[in-house]
Structure 1
Amino acid sequence: MNILFVTQYDLANPDYGGPVFKVRYLSNYLANLGHNVSVVTVDDGKDDVKHLQDLRDSLHDRVSTIRLKTLWRYRAITLNPSVFSVVQRQVPTADIIHIFGFYDLLSPFVVRSARIHNVPYIIEPIGMFAPIVRSLLKKKIYHRLLGRRLVSEAECIIATSTQEKEELVSNGLKSQHIVIRRNGIDLSEFSNLPEHGQMRSRLGIHPDERLLLYLSRLSSKKNPEMLMQVFAKLDLPKTKLVLAGPSESGYLEKLKLIRKELELENDIIFAGPLFGDEKISALVDADIFVLPSTNENFGNVIAESVAAGTPVVITNKCGIAPYIKDRVGLTVSPKQQELQQAIVTLLSDTSLYKKFELACSDVAKEFSWDQPAASMEQLYKKILASQLL
């Protein structure tokens, strides 16, 4: 098969997190099976020599990337005039198109060409379909002008969890039009874990101190503010809270002001974005990983924490929660009191903590990319077979 992937996230920029690594892994898996994969993505103008080299090194020879120059940007939405010529070349030779994301200006042009050339396409919204958090009016306008038709003419919509499927249905999509395919992680990255203490040493955290870790994008929907408030109320001796990850525009400054107001400048540490070995070192060094999101379509970093052997406290608004609950961590509603109690429980109940810690290696095996990636190949084949009837 000739498979065309389309994503608004620059594959060379790991700051975009899960979507970037998802597209990379699926591309490589399908290429290993003998398929040709082309990825149309954007050049966000933040070229980093190391990141570009990492991208080249990470992709199979049968995977090609086309990074479109960006003329204008508003948050994650970009204007890329070269999309016209690229679409004219790529779409007619594709057997199937897989679009990752939703609110962008690439998909409408790709889909228009797909209609002309009778190329089937599927959409994976990556948790973006429902207008939430910010720019609600703009998102509703996008739905009305472009989104509804994009979705209605797709062969199917990919949801990464039952939770995301329920959100899609509640926003007007038909249940039978949605296929659930969970996310995965690259377990090979966790086969040889780093020695304990490397990230603690870098951040100046003593081996005797406890470390609570939040490692994700610093975004209001992921609730780091509430976690900081909870940490202040806990008033735990010899305990540090580390917040790691890229920040939404201006949000880090807001969090730093909150830290100052809480008088916890020595106990709450902003570690910045962590990738690769640094990310794994942080997960290994943490006593508890905490993600108090109000909405998370899956939550890959939670699976990565489990693979690193670190128990978690997360909310039931994370799509991955059914895999986690009472097996390798605690799940709570996104409320301060419940989050506070869960952290206290896991820190004080040593037998429960040990139970979760010992279960991590077995549960982590359930997050391999192999099964979901194989299911994508089967879905593509099923769609193409139906086109011949």
Structure 2
Amino acid sequence: MKKLRVVVVSSGLAPQFGGAAVSEASLCAFLSQHADVTVLCRGDAVDGEFVQGFGLNGVVRYQPAEIYEAWRNKAEWVHKILDAADVLHLNGHWRWENYFFARLCKRKGVPYVLHPRGMLLVGHRKTLLKYLFNLLIGKWIVRHASKVIALSQFETRHFDTYGLPARAVQIIPNGIPVNESKQIPIPAHIHLPEKYFLYYGRVEKRKNLVFLVQAFGEYVRAGGSAHLFIMGPVERGYDRTIRAAADAEDVTFRVHLLAPQYDDTRWELVRRSLAVVYPALEEPFGRVPFEAVAVGTVPIIPDRSGSAEYLKWHLPSAVYKHQDRHSLSAALLRAEKGSIGGTPEAREWVKNALDWKRISNAVLDLYREVGAGTA
């Protein structure tokens, strides 16, 4: 069978782009085993070391203006890449050059698949700009895609305002690697208490960390004895907001902010924690809870999330009610007592259902359907 020729437009291939970058890079690496894959990414959104870590060679860096120039029948190198493609895979949404990628595909008869990765939600930040973007070009990008990939059924809630028919949406979750990890020492500068909960990810408003601190305060008042570590890169000075919330709850001595840790140190912190708490709002998937399960740690997650959609069947007592402090506090108490069961079963499910080979094969099948006009 002839190899598919796939062009992937990445929304970012660098650590600061979080889980989306990990998922995009992982998918490209696995797709490359069965297809001819060309990866395009904004020049300022590529980190060479990050890309090399996934074995991605020859990522093509572009400037947004070059895609506009290609639409005006200039920038011949862009035309050369698209003319050779069987399908284009467009990640993210809030990039104006995506409109010109989509227009070029329509002009050339190349089908494109849109993979928004939670980006179709209009809210939290820059709401007016997002509304105008969608009014001018965003909805066109979405509606003219041959297929839109959702990470969960939960994410399809974000599609309501775009007028997409159900047949235009394909649900394919992210892959999660499950590896056996050995216990390692924690760096000397990190002082861990005997018992702690862990959040890791970007430290910003949408991650709902003030709510987490407030629920943690209730947990402490109910007799909980563990600490809370919040680990990750701080955005827009949000650490000050968290410290103020901890002070208001009188738990400053129990809430600790920690710089991002990577590789083995991160996984060891996850493994040693009582549970990983991930309270993010409107999260379509969220790699963090699944990564916790992959190393054998309980995740605590809201019922209104993509992660709960998949994990509630194995970890029902790890799921709390959306924005209910008492419900989250109770889940923290259960985790401290060790009464949240089901982690081994959940880990086995993640290992099988979210295996990257399985996920990449599902994406390849979708490409073939789109190319054949049967999607």
Cα deviation digits, residues 178-228 of structure 1 (max 9, x gap): 1111111122xx22x1316626x542013xx21101112222222111111
| Kept after mapping to 2: 8 A contact 1:205/1:240 | no
The alignment status of 1:222 with 2:207, answered yes or no, reads: yes
Following superposition, the deviation at residue 284 of structure 1 comes to 0.8
Structure 2 residue identity aligned to 1:195: Q
The alignment status of 1:330 with 2:318, answered yes or no, reads: yes
Give the SS at the match of 2:61.
Answer: strand
| Kept after mapping to 2: 8 A contact 1:306/1:363 | no
CA distance in 2, matches of 1:159, 1:176: 12
CA distance in 2, matches of 1:110, 1:277: 38
Q: How does 1:48-63 map to 2 (within 5 A)?
A: 52-60=48-56
| Kept after mapping to 2: 8 A contact 1:314/1:321 | yes
Following superposition, the deviation at residue 260 of structure 1 comes to 4.0
User: What residue in structure 1 maps to residue 164 of structure 2?
Assistant: 173
CA distance in 1, matches of 2:165, 2:243: 43
With the length of structure 1 as denominator, give the TM-score of the two structures: 0.86
User: What residue in structure 2 maps to residue 359 of structure 1?
Assistant: 345
Change (3 A) 1:64 1:317: farther
Following superposition, the deviation at residue 138 of structure 1 comes to 0.9
| Kept after mapping to 2: 8 A contact 1:162/1:180 | yes
Following superposition, the deviation at residue 234 of structure 1 comes to 2.0
Q: How does 1:187-198 map to 2 (within 5 A)?
A: 187=178, 190-191=179-180, 193-195=181-183, 198=186
Give the SS at the match of 1:44.
Answer: helix
CA distance in 1, matches of 2:230, 2:154: 26
Q: From 84, 90, 93, give the equivalent of 2:81.
A: 90
Following superposition, the deviation at residue 159 of structure 1 comes to 0.4
Following superposition, the deviation at residue 170 of structure 1 comes to 5.6
User: What residue in structure 2 maps to residue 113 of structure 1?
Assistant: 104
Following superposition, the deviation at residue 286 of structure 1 comes to 1.0
CA distance in 1, matches of 2:92, 2:283: 14
| Kept after mapping to 2: 8 A contact 1:68/1:82 | yes
Structure 2 residue identity aligned to 1:194: K
Following superposition, the deviation at residue 27 of structure 1 comes to 1.1
Structure 1 residue identity aligned to 2:5: N
User: What residue in structure 2 maps to residue 75 of structure 1?
Assistant: none
CA distance in 2, matches of 1:197, 1:327: 31
Following superposition, the deviation at residue 140 of structure 1 comes to 0.9
CA distance in 1, matches of 2:132, 2:196: 43
Number of residue pairs the alignment of both structures matches: 360
User: What residue in structure 2 maps to residue 39 of structure 1?
Assistant: 39
Give the SS at the match of 1:227.
Answer: helix
Following superposition, the deviation at residue 263 of structure 1 comes to 4.4
With the length of structure 2 as denominator, give the TM-score of the two structures: 0.89
Give the SS at the match of 1:317.
Answer: coil
| Kept after mapping to 1: 8 A contact 2:139/2:162 | no
Following superposition, the deviation at residue 282 of structure 1 comes to 1.8
User: What residue in structure 1 maps to residue 72 of structure 2?
Assistant: none
Which blocks of at least 5 consecutive residues in structure 2 are unaligned?
Answer: 70-74
Following superposition, the deviation at residue 101 of structure 1 comes to 0.4
Q: From 3, 7, 32, give the equivalent of 2:6.
A: 3
Question: Aligned residues: percent identity?
Answer: 22
Following superposition, the deviation at residue 270 of structure 1 comes to 1.2
Cα deviation digits, residues 45-86 of structure 1 (max 9, x gap): 7x7xxx5234224225xx5312235xxxxxxxxxx3233435
Following superposition, the deviation at residue 171 of structure 1 comes to 4.7
Following superposition, the deviation at residue 89 of structure 1 comes to 3.5
CA distance in 1, matches of 2:114, 2:346: 32
Which blocks of at least 5 consecutive residues in structure 1 are unaligned?
Answer: 70-79
CA RMSD of aligned residues (A): 2.3
The alignment status of 1:184 with 2:171, answered yes or no, reads: no
CA distance in 2, matches of 1:371, 1:249: 38
User: What residue in structure 1 maps to residue 58 of structure 2?
Assistant: 64
Structure 2 residue identity aligned to 1:148: K
Following superposition, the deviation at residue 238 of structure 1 comes to 4.4
Structure 2 residue identity aligned to 1:32: Q
Which range moved further: 51-60 or 16-25? 51-60
Q: Which runs of 4+ in 1 moved over 6 A?
A: none
